[in-house]
Homo-oligomer: A and B are copies of this chain.
Amino acid sequence: MKPGLLIDWPAARYPDATAVVFEGERTSFREFDARVNRLAHGLRTLGLARGARVGVLLPNRPTCMEIFFATQKAGLALVPLNARHGAAEHAWVLEDAAAEALVFGREFAETVGAVRTRVPGLRTVLAADGGVPGALGLGDLALGQPEAEPDVDVGEDDLERIHYTSGTSGRPKGVVITHGQSCHRLLQILINLDQPIGPGDVNLNVGPLTHAAGLMFTAYYVRGATNVILERFEPETVLAAIERLRVTSVLLVPAMLVRMLRMPGLERYDLRSLRRIWYGTAPMPLGPLREALRVFGPIFRQNYGMSEASQPLTFLGPEDHVVDGPAEVVRRLRSAGRPALGVDLRVVGDEGKPVKPGEVGEIVYQSRHMFREYWRRPDETARAFRDGWFLSGDLATVDEAGYVYIVDRKHDLIISGGFNIYPREVEEAILRHPGVAEAAVVGVPDEEWGEVVKAVCVLKAGARASADEIVAVCRERLAGYKKPRIVEFVPELPKNAYGKVERRRLKETRGGT
């Protein structure tokens, strides 16, 4: 099978349309596809075997897209690295994946130097921007290579990428995605659109393109739409880009949306080109979501996904974002939506049977776009599947209409004195305190209770609160056993690149109340 079957299409259909905009520079589909093909040919000259792993350590730049497509066309497997991590974490991932090559941006030259000494199997390092001693320049690699796609036979079961889990708990695991699964991921997005993507669309990419959620850009690319890339998130930059480039679609994590809503002068921007705001990857607080609906209009779509099967697993469409209406309808704003077409997703009890509406169970699913295995971890892979169903580890309830409400991660569940405590419930109680901006709750070991609740709080600028007050707001609303035994105040919560709180780091207690 020809690897570029979907991604070649826009270059043939819309050769002169703009594929990518970055720092004011526009690249057409014809030009972009030619760059990808030259790069794919260049990668083939490195003598890597079919399915060999190529690490990528890049900030948000067009090179992220190019290397993503080029490795596909060259029959190599991509290993995206999290730009926020350090040399030790990169080395760990590259070693685990047995990567043989690494593409990196200029700002990571020093880090890559440290990584190389730790990963002897890394034969080739490629400087995306050139000019790094000891590293081959990506431009030199592609120079003079043919503009036609290389003749590579890639099967549906060949490795397309290994995406490491964000590692908010334990060591990251390599999520293995085949070409067949990757193709279905793309199809999965396209068939679930309530509004087709077309050449008139302009998609703004402001979260990391190398994250599983960032791969949304592929759906826009293959349909001939323009992808705008911003290197980092700043509310002003995003708003200005929407206005200037007539952006129609953007994927935002809740924290970004909240910062945009707080921007003074927000109303001065012309945002009428926006037709879709996708959000997800972390819970969206209800207050800001209502506010966002008022400001941006009924254009919100929520996708639920994970590295093991990126969005959409469930989908909450614009018609589900009802602010005024019957309670059972407005309540859906708190949900992640209903299962997407192509996914069989259920919330089941311990014995594998679907739970009744309102009961907590684990989300399990089957889908052609879900991953194949955890890289070289047969035991963890075996534990993750039951009769072909992937056990997601996410706890949820469903309502009568099939909407799925994420309760918490299964392994974040705190068991104290034999009782189940869902951190999110405690966090929501703490957020009732007027001085608290953010709160995260974890379980820490305790000799008497097994585990006890620890709350880590970030206060609003200028606000004050005591540990006793935090405990008091919890007692007001929750059963006694759910109240925090340890309360800590910190200037900010540790988060990964997509705004997800790194709970593992919160367990490393620094003091107590």
Instruction: Please list the residues of chain A having a beta carbon within 8 angstroms of any beta carbon in chain B.
Output: 1-2, 5-6, 8-9, 12-13, 153, 183, 187, 190-191, 193-196, 198, 222-223, 338-339, 341-344, 366-368, 388, 402
Contact = CB atoms under 8 A, between A and B. Distances in A.
A195 B194 contact: no
A2 B193 CA distance: 23
Contact of A2 (B187, B194, B196, B366): B366
A12 B388 contact: no
Interface centre among A191, A198, A344, A367 (most CB of B within 10 A): A191
Given A191-B187, A388-B2, A341 B9 contact: yes
A13 B191 contact: no
Given A222-B341, A402-B13, A367 B196 contact: no
Given A5-B343, A12-B339, A193-B196, 10 more contacts: A2-B366, A5-B344, A5-B367, A6-B341, A8-B344, A9-B341, A12-B402, A13-B338, A187-B187, A196-B196
A368 B402 contact: no
A366 B5 contact: yes
A187 B9 CA distance: 16
Nearest to A197: B191
A332 B191 CA distance: 28
A94 to B, nearest CB: 32
Contacts of A193: 196
A6 B342 contact: yes
A198 B222 CA distance: 22
B194 A191 contact: no
A12 B388 CA distance: 20
Contacts of A368: 1, 5, 183
24 contacts: A1-B368, A2-B388, A5-B343, A5-B344, A5-B366, A5-B367, A5-B368, A6-B341, A8-B344, A9-B339, A9-B341, A9-B342, A12-B339, A12-B402, A13-B339, A13-B402, A187-B187, A190-B190, A191-B191, A193-B196, A195-B196, A196-B196, A222-B341, A223-B341
Nearest to A366: B2
A8 B193 CA distance: 18
A335 to B, nearest CB: 14
Interface centre among A6, A187, A402 (most CB of B within 10 A): A187
A379 to B, nearest CB: 23
Contacts of A338: 13
A402 B341 CA distance: 32
B1 A388 contact: yes
Nearest to A5: B344
Contact of A198 (B194, B339, B343, B366): B194
Contacts of A223: 341
A388 B341 CA distance: 30
B194 A196 contact: yes
A368 B154 CA distance: 13
Given A12-B402, A187-B191, A402-B12, A5 B342 contact: yes
Nearest to A186: B191
A338 B339 CA distance: 33
Nearest to A341: B9
Contacts of A6: 341-342
Nearest to A343: B5
Contacts of A341: 6, 9, 222-223
A343 B5 CA distance: 7
A12 B5 CA distance: 32
Interface centre among A8, A190, A193 (most CB of B within 10 A): A190
Nearest to A222: B341
A318 to B, nearest CB: 13
A195 B197 CA distance: 10
Contacts of A187: 187, 191
Contacts of A366: 1-2, 5
Contacts of A198: 194
Contacts of A194: 196, 198
Contacts of A9: 339, 341-342
A474 B252 CA distance: 65
A344 B343 CA distance: 27
A26 B6 CA distance: 39
A342 B8 CA distance: 9
A503 B217 CA distance: 48
